[in-house]
């Protein structure tokens, strides 16, 4: 039996499609590319390999039919309203997310959420299996799809399967809390190659396989005990940003003019501090505000000379932990402004919005001090985006040692956000270090990101996937 259906040599599966749906006044549906780094990276590899992308469209209900957009074949996966609640908001964001981020808030465990997670992972795998050409490369993304590798292998043993984790992989002591820990590991072990942000994350995974599944492991390789002789490699391939694309955006005269305008509209402060985060408890926004408030109270700094712009992009607003975080942050901002602001010069400019990329690039250029203070973050792209936009070598990056980014950008003004006194000192150092020293630091940070951009990340990942051991050749010596 022959089939005329077109299939693809590279299939990416991610929770979301790389496009957002927009409906015009006449009710016509249009899809617009969402500007994430992953999409940019994929574009560069898909130019030479015809590629498909499997993902959820973002709306509950039946999946729209597959379509082609900007050189990619897009294959939507449908989620019912209950599945959005149980698979996405529930198991992904209220069970796995807290466990994988040091249990900053308690995780919720519900068996119906797990059932939805299994069902949706299987649905993704079925879509991948239909789109993949014989011997294709399949690249599955992130914590929402940890069972998909094994489901894909059952359906399509001929394809090469990789998975990349955008968030941390927790130490076994935390991972072991999950009632479904063995199934999650077995799901991941369906892959040939597993990529992580940091070597420590890869080691945590290997240790979990040893301790919880009793498997043998040597270095980065875990040996399966199912009689197949198969090995799975787990290592770090840290993600990055589209350095060239973003730098040239930041060099546009309109963006540079907008950066100046932003500073003027804030009253041209001596020091503009900036935070840009999804409104998430992992990002350390509370700790940052506390340190800033203390610096104001102790009169080290104060408006109008110094001000803070905090962009908190709306996120996961139906999950309770996110609602209460928002309330707490907004109360804190109100208190700081009420007690320490001046007429025409608030101490904190708090913006609960999402902005276009051009505006973000302008904000990065306007900011003298960028505050990236997560309690735990897989990578943190904002840190890399900030230095990419600083082609003028201006600005200073305060960076938490609990981000993946810090392992590459440790020349930044390092902080431990739990240590409020230390965080305050890092903020003051970022303000007071002489300009020439700050330029030297910025040059080094920029060089690192320029040499390790997202295109390189994607190429390295796919090369590692191709070279993954699978079933190693028998030793010729017998
Ligand atoms: C996960 C991991 C890892 C934010 N607000 C706006 C906006 N953004 C953009 C930023 C940046 C991205 O969103 C956020 O990326 P982060 O890396 O900072 O954080 P997560 O969303 O938690 O991402 C993380 C990442 O995956 C990639 O592997 O680094 O550790 O948690 O690009 O610029 N962009 C626009 N408007 C906004 O208002 N245009």
Does 351 sit in the ligand 1 pocket, CB within 6 Å?
no
Residues 407 and 274 in one domain: yes
CATH number at residue 335: 3.40.50.2000
Residue 218, judged by CB atoms within 10 A of its CB (0-12, 13-18, 19+), counts as exposed
pLDDT at 128 over 60: yes
- pLDDT at position 32 is 79
Residues 119 and 213 in one domain: yes
Number of domains making up the chain: 2
Q: What atom in ligand 1 is closest to the CA of residue 404?
A: 30
Q: What atom in ligand 1 is closest to the CA of residue 37?
A: 32
Ligand 1 geometric centre to CA of 186 (Å): 29
pLDDT at 472 over 70: no
- Are 104 and 376 contacting, i.e. CB atoms less than 8 angstroms apart? yes
315 domain-assigned: yes
Cβ-Cβ contacts under 8 Å for 109 (sequence gap 6 or more) = 95, 178, 179
CB atoms within 10 A of CB 448: 17
pLDDT at 476 over 70: no
Q: How far is CA 244 from CA 37, 228, 343, 365, 446, in A?
A: 12, 44, 41, 16, 11
Q: What atom in ligand 1 is closest to the CA of residue 280?
A: 22
Nearest CA to ligand 1 atom 5: 313
- pLDDT at position 41 is 73
| Element containing residue 60 per DSSP (H, E) | strand 51-60
Residues 218 and 115 in one domain: yes
Does 381 sit in the ligand 1 pocket, CB within 6 Å?
yes
Ligand 1 geometric centre to CA of 290 (Å): 23
- pLDDT at position 50 is 77
Does 167 sit in the ligand 1 pocket, CB within 6 Å?
yes
Residues 232 and 248 in one domain: no
74 domain-assigned: yes
Residues 299 and 159 in one domain: no
117 domain-assigned: yes
Mutate which of 164, 365, 381, 383 to test ligand 1's pocket (most atoms within 8 Å of Cβ)? 381
Mean residue pLDDT across the chain? 94
Does 377 sit in the ligand 1 pocket, CB within 6 Å?
yes
Does 416 sit in the ligand 1 pocket, CB within 6 Å?
no
Using 50, 70 and 90 to split pLDDT, how confident is the model at 469?
confident
Using 50, 70 and 90 to split pLDDT, how confident is the model at 289?
very high
From 204, 236, 268, the end of a domain falls on 236
Does 313 sit in the ligand 1 pocket, CB within 6 Å?
yes
From 211, 236, 261, the end of a domain falls on 236
Residues 141 and 85 in one domain: yes
- pLDDT at position 7 is 95
pLDDT tens, position by position, 139-150: 999 999 999 999
In the chain, what are the helix, strand and coil shares in percent, each to the nearest 5?
Answer: 45, 25, 35
Does 192 sit in the ligand 1 pocket, CB within 6 Å?
no
Residue 430, judged by CB atoms within 10 A of its CB (0-12, 13-18, 19+), counts as buried
413 domain-assigned: yes
Ligand 1 geometric centre to CA of 277 (Å): 7
Q: Could you give the CA distance from residue 173 to residue 331 in angstroms, rounded to a whole number?
A: 35
**What whole-number percentage of the chain has pLDDT above 70?**
96
49: left (phi over 0), alpha (psi -120 to 50) or beta: beta
Half-sphere exposure of 294 (CA within 13 A, CB side): 14
- Are 246 and 388 contacting, i.e. CB atoms less than 8 angstroms apart? yes
Burial profile 384-406: b = 16 or more Cβ within 10 angstroms, e = fewer: bbbbbbbeebbbbbbbbebbbbb
pLDDT at 110 over 70: yes
Ligand 1 geometric centre to CA of 379 (Å): 9
Using 50, 70 and 90 to split pLDDT, how confident is the model at 410?
very high
pLDDT at 3 over 70: no
41 domain-assigned: yes
Mutate which of 14, 284, 380 to test ligand 1's pocket (most atoms within 8 Å of Cβ)? 380
- Are 405 and 383 contacting, i.e. CB atoms less than 8 angstroms apart? yes
Does 312 sit in the ligand 1 pocket, CB within 6 Å?
no
Does 237 sit in the ligand 1 pocket, CB within 6 Å?
no
pLDDT at 2 over 90: no
- pLDDT at position 300 is 92
pLDDT at 478 over 60: no
Q: Could you give the CA distance from residue 379 to residue 38 in angstroms, rounded to a whole number?
A: 13
DSSP 8-state class, residue 358: H
pLDDT tens, position by position, 430-465: 999 999 999 999 999 999 999 999 999 999 999 999
Residues 140 and 255 in one domain: no
Ligand 1 geometric centre to CA of 202 (Å): 22
Residue 122, judged by CB atoms within 10 A of its CB (0-12, 13-18, 19+), counts as middle
476 domain-assigned: no
Mean pLDDT of 183-196: 98
Mean pLDDT of 98-124: 97
Strands (E), 173-302: 193-196, 216-218, 221-223, 231-236, 271-278
Does 354 sit in the ligand 1 pocket, CB within 6 Å?
yes
pLDDT at 417 over 90: yes
Using 50, 70 and 90 to split pLDDT, how confident is the model at 416?
very high
- pLDDT at position 1 is 46
CB atoms within 10 A of CB 28: 8
Does 149 sit in the ligand 1 pocket, CB within 6 Å?
no
pLDDT at 82 over 70: yes
pLDDT at 38 over 80: no
3-class DSSP state for residue 283? helix
Q: Could you give the CA distance from residue 193 to residue 149 in angstroms, rounded to a whole number?
A: 10
Nearest CA to ligand 1 atom 15: 381
User: Among 216, 193, 187, 209, which residue's Cα sits nearest to residue 114?
Assistant: 187
Q: What atom in ligand 1 is closest to the CA of residue 168?
A: 30
Nearest CA to ligand 1 atom 1: 166
470 domain-assigned: no
From 188, 219, 236, the end of a domain falls on 236
Residues 134 and 280 in one domain: no
Sheet with 67-69, side-by-side order of all strands? 67-69, 72-79, 51-60, 8-16, 132-141, 160-164, 193-196, 231-236, 221-223, 216-218
Q: Which domain range does residue 325 map to?
A: 243-451
pTM of the model: 0.95
Mutate which of 278, 372, 386 to test ligand 1's pocket (most atoms within 8 Å of Cβ)? 278
Q: What atom in ligand 1 is closest to the CA of residue 377?
A: 30
Does 181 sit in the ligand 1 pocket, CB within 6 Å?
no
Residues 279 and 319 in one domain: yes
Residues 63 and 98 in one domain: yes
Ligand 1 geometric centre to CA of 198 (Å): 17
Residues 232 and 253 in one domain: no
Residues 165 and 255 in one domain: no
Q: What atom in ligand 1 is closest to the CA of residue 383?
A: 18
Does 239 sit in the ligand 1 pocket, CB within 6 Å?
yes
378 domain-assigned: yes
Does 355 sit in the ligand 1 pocket, CB within 6 Å?
yes
pLDDT tens, position by position, 9-29: 999 999 999 888 888 888 888
Q: Could you give the CA distance from residue 252 to residue 362 in angstroms, rounded to a whole number?
A: 10
């Amino acid at each position: 039996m022959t089939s005329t259906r077109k299939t693809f040599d590279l299939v990416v599966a991610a929770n979301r499609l790389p496009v957002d749906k927009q409906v015009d006044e006449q009710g016509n549906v249009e899809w617009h590319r969402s500007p994430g780094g992953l999409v940019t990276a994929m574009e560069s590899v898909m130019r030479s390999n015809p590629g498909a992308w499997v993902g959820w469209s973002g709306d509950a209900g039946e999946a729209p039919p597959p379509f082609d957009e900007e050189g990619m074949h897009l294959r939507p996966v449908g989620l019912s309203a209950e599945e959005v609640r149980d698979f996405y908001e529930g198991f992904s964001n209220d069970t796995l997310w807290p466990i994988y981020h040091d249990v900053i808030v308690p995780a919720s465990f519900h068996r119906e959420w797990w059932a939805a997670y299994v069902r949706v992972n299987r649905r993704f795998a079925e879509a991948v299996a239909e789109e993949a050409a014989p011997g294709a490369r399949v690249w599955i993304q992130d914590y929402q799809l940890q069972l998909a590798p094994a489901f894909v292998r059952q359906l399509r043993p001929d394809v090469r399967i990789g998975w990349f984790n955008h968030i941390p992989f927790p130490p076994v002591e935390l991972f072991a809390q999950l009632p479904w820990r063995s199934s999650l590991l077995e799901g991941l072990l369906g892959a040939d190659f597993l990529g992580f942000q940091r070597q420590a994350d890869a080691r945590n995974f290997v240790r979990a396989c040893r301790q919880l599944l009793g498997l043998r492991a040597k270095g980065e390789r875990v040996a399966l005990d199912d009689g197949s002789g198969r090995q799975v490699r787990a290592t770090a391939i840290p993600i990055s940003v589209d350095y060239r694309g973003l730098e040239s955006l930041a060099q546009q005269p309109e963006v540079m003019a907008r950066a100046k305008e932003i500073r003027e509209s804030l009253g041209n402060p001596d020091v503009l501090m900036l935070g840009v985060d999804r409104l998430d408890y992992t990002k350390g926004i509370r700790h940052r505000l506390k340190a800033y408030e203390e610096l104001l109270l102790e009169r080290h700094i104060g408006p109008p000379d110094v001000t803070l712009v905090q962009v908190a992009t709306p996120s996961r607003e139906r999950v309770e932990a996110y609602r209460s975080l928002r309330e707490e942050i907004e109360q804190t901002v109100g208190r700081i402004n009420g007690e320490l602001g001046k007429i025409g010069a608030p101490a904190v400019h708090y913006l609960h919005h999402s902005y276009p990329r051009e505006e973000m690039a302008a904000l990065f250029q306007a900011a003298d001090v960028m505050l990236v203070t997560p309690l735990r973050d897989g990578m943190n792209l904002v840190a890399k985006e900030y230095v990419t936009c600083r082609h003028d070598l201006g600005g200073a990056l305060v960076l938490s040692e609990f981000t993946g980014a810090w392992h590459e950008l440790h020349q930044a003004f390092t902080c431990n956000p739990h240590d409020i006194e230390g965080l305050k000192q890092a903020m003051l150092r970022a303000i007071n270090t002489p300009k020439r020293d700050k330029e030297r630091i910025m040059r080094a940070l920029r060089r690192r990101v320029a040499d390790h951009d997202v295109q390189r990340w994607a190429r390295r990942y796919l090369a590692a996937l191709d070279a993954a051991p699978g079933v190693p050749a028998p030793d010729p010596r017998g």
